[in-house]
Amino acid sequence: MSPSIFAIGTAVPPYKISQLLHCSILESAEGIGRREKLQLRKVYHSSGITTRHSVLEEFGRTDQTENILFYPSNHHASMPISRRMALYEHYALGLSEKAVTECLEKLPLIKPNQITHLITFSCTGMSAPGLDIQLIEKLGLNRTIERTCINFMGCYAGINAIKSAYHISRSEPEAIVLLAGVELCTLHYQQGDKEDQIIANAIFSDGAAACIISEKKIQTANNSLSLQPKNFYSAFEPGEKEEMAWRIGDHGFDLRLSSYVPALIKKSIPDFMSELFNRANVKQEDIDFYAFHPGGMKILEACEEALHILKKENEIAYRVLSEYGNMSSVTIFFVLKQFLEFFKPEDIGKKILACAFGPGLTMESMIAEIA
């Protein structure tokens, strides 16, 4: 046996926000000028997003006194980072638990006390004791479970978490590793007319994901197929560190997201993929499916153009982007989950390439086989 991803669970908050409604609320804000309106329309209408989710209902309504941090007219003081982190602690556990529960329901023979390792990941909040200990107590996991926390890596952290679980499973064949990630990106909404802030406000959203990885053979509820990671490769472009950055500011986490990122990905990804294929001893023609992190419409298009693949080969990533937006590190699991539901027995042995991008500019990738 090789380490395998046997089940993936996902969850989103109950509040679904229409992208067009959200844009119209911002456009109608008091004091906004014609230039800002045009800029908003350009970003929102080209985002490829139809709806997003947030733990806060207020993103679908105008300024109201009960709003916590969404004030389009900007007549209120910015929310301090301490308050945003308190909101993260309040909401993160419930959403993460929902994703883990869905994941474990697909593996009826696995009981919580059989899980030997827990890997949590997030870049939108942190505390100690944090999500790992909260999940142990809530789910009834062993207090002696081995814990690993991956924090503040950005959108590519999900693949890094899979890689960590893969290495644990290879070194401990009896291990059953639970991955649990949650991102509450909307808690870092900040009013501003800078392009990178407008882009961040337009594409990021909230979600959670979980999966079980083990080298042991685990029975799934519907005899569904699994994914066996085979190769990983990570690299970053040292000269482009400031094009995508994620820092803790006074009033929230500040994202630097240059409009040049898609162009940089388009320029860098061919050499990046060439090195991955060389290390894996495969050719691009050996890849049957593509699971790109849907960081944005232009990022997906850049991947297609650079690797000469068709838009329909990216169909699942576009669907996830449209329905959920960019949920940072957990988004790739939404894509992989839909692939797992799509695969048929005749797909066994085929290869899927997963790739995500984040601050650095970092590219993290995985080649897996369907089993």
What is the extent of the structural domain holding 255? 227-370
Residue 316, in any domain of the structure: yes
Distance of alpha carbon 57 from alpha carbon 16, whole angstroms: 8
pLDDT over threshold 70, residue 129: yes
* Structure confidence at residue 257 (pLDDT): 67
Cα angle at 182 between 121 and 350, to 5 degrees? Answer: 75
Distance of alpha carbon 71 from alpha carbon 65, whole angstroms: 9
User: How much of the chain exceeds pLDDT 70, in percent?
Assistant: 95
* Structure confidence at residue 157 (pLDDT): 95
Residue 83, in any domain of the structure: no
Q: Could you identify the residue written with the tokens 């029975």?
A: 219
Mean of pLDDT values over 273-301: 95
Residue 275, in any domain of the structure: yes
pLDDT in tens, 137-166: 999 999 999 999 999 888 999 999 999 999
pLDDT in tens, 217-265: 998 888 889 999 999 999 987 766 566 667 787 777 877 766 668 888 8
Please state the pTM of the whole predicted model: 0.95
Give the domain CATH number at 336: 3.40.47.10
Q: Cα separations (Å) of 350 from 286, 307, 338, 365?
A: 8, 19, 16, 17
pLDDT band at 267 (very low <50, low <70, confident <90, very high): confident
The two tokens of residue 301 are 């298009």
What average pLDDT is seen over the chain?
91
* Structure confidence at residue 263 (pLDDT): 83
The two tokens of residue 110 are 């696995």
Number of domains in the chain: 1
The two tokens of residue 165 are 């679980």
pLDDT in tens, 48-77: 999 999 999 999 998 888 898 888 887 777
Which residue in 352, 347, 354 sits closest to 371, CA to CA? 347
SS (H, E, C) 178-243: EEEEEEEHHHHCCCCCCHHHHHHHHHECEEEEEEEEECCCCCCCCCCCCEEEEEEEEEECHHHHHH
Residue 356, in any domain of the structure: yes
Distance of alpha carbon 190 from alpha carbon 198, whole angstroms: 9
Residue 365, in any domain of the structure: yes
